[in-house]
A and B are shown apart, each in its own frame.
Chain A
């Protein structure tokens, strides 16, 4: 019972490099999300996808792009990584948007940009 799977688990990038964080869920959820967590901070929403084919900006979208490839997969791309993007990234999914639909989180991707 995988739930939400993120790859990779760890990544080190040089400033200016690009990469894509992958996320897949096997719960047939409609909505998917990308959060980042920084020391002493809560989880901040980067982008979300309320349903297949739609994406919307969250609280901190600058420097990121997303693709909802299909219902299962939601990827996060850093086109030109910056040290400020060093963080732990969490993907999440929920059955639907709105209340009473809690999100299920992946185990996270720890990204370091040097």
Chain B
């Protein structure tokens, strides 16, 4: 029973265009969400996060949107660059919970073509 779902295993976009990665969650107690990026043979690296009190958080080319009523969040990358090609994991946690409550989705493999 997946609490965090990334329904698209892969996504391919052209360099310079927008990449939109989606994530859905089922647990209404989740109130903190993170995106991690992972290159092959490396550990995941933190990318951006958002608290449930916000609906948008922006960091350079990366923006995360949160729709609490739909239990949906998305990561926008604009413009996409070939170096963005990686697996992106969505993760969610409940407030006050330890990192031990951080639940990851299965990931979406993004390919950005030159």
Task: Give the distance in Å from the alpha carbon of A104 to the alpha carbon of B36 in the complex.
Answer: 10
| Interface pair B95/A108, CB less than 8 Å apart | no
> Which of B34, B45, B98 has a CB less than 8 Å from the CB of A105?
B45
| Interface pair A99/B31, CB less than 8 Å apart | yes
| Interface pair A98/B96, CB less than 8 Å apart | yes
| A19: Cβ under 8 A from any B Cβ | no
What band does the interface of chain A fall in when counting residues whose beta carbon is under 8 Å from B? 20 to 34
Residues of B within 8 A of A105 (CB): 36, 43-45
Residues of B within 8 A of A21 (CB): none
| Interface pair A107/B43, CB less than 8 Å apart | yes
> Which of B42, B98, B104 has a CB less than 8 Å from the CB of A98?
B98
| Interface pair B106/A40, CB less than 8 Å apart | yes
| B114: Cβ under 8 A from any A Cβ | no
Q: Compute the total of residue contacts between A and B using a CB distance below 8 Å.
A: 78
Task: Give the distance in Å from the alpha carbon of A106 to the alpha carbon of B100 in the complex.
Answer: 17
Task: Give the distance in Å from the alpha carbon of A101 to the alpha carbon of B96 in the complex.
Answer: 11
| Interface pair B44/A90, CB less than 8 Å apart | yes
| Interface pair B99/A31, CB less than 8 Å apart | yes
| Interface pair B100/A50, CB less than 8 Å apart | yes
Residues of A within 8 A of B85 (CB): none
| Chain B residues close to A by CB (< 8 Å) | 4, 6, 9, 31-32, 34, 36, 41-46, 49, 51, 89, 91, 93, 95-100, 102-107
23 contacts between A and B (CB under 8 A): A4-B43, A33-B99, A33-B100, A40-B9, A41-B106, A42-B6, A42-B107, A43-B104, A45-B100, A48-B99, A48-B100, A92-B43, A98-B98, A99-B51, A99-B93, A100-B32, A102-B34, A103-B99, A104-B45, A104-B46, A105-B36, A105-B43, A107-B41
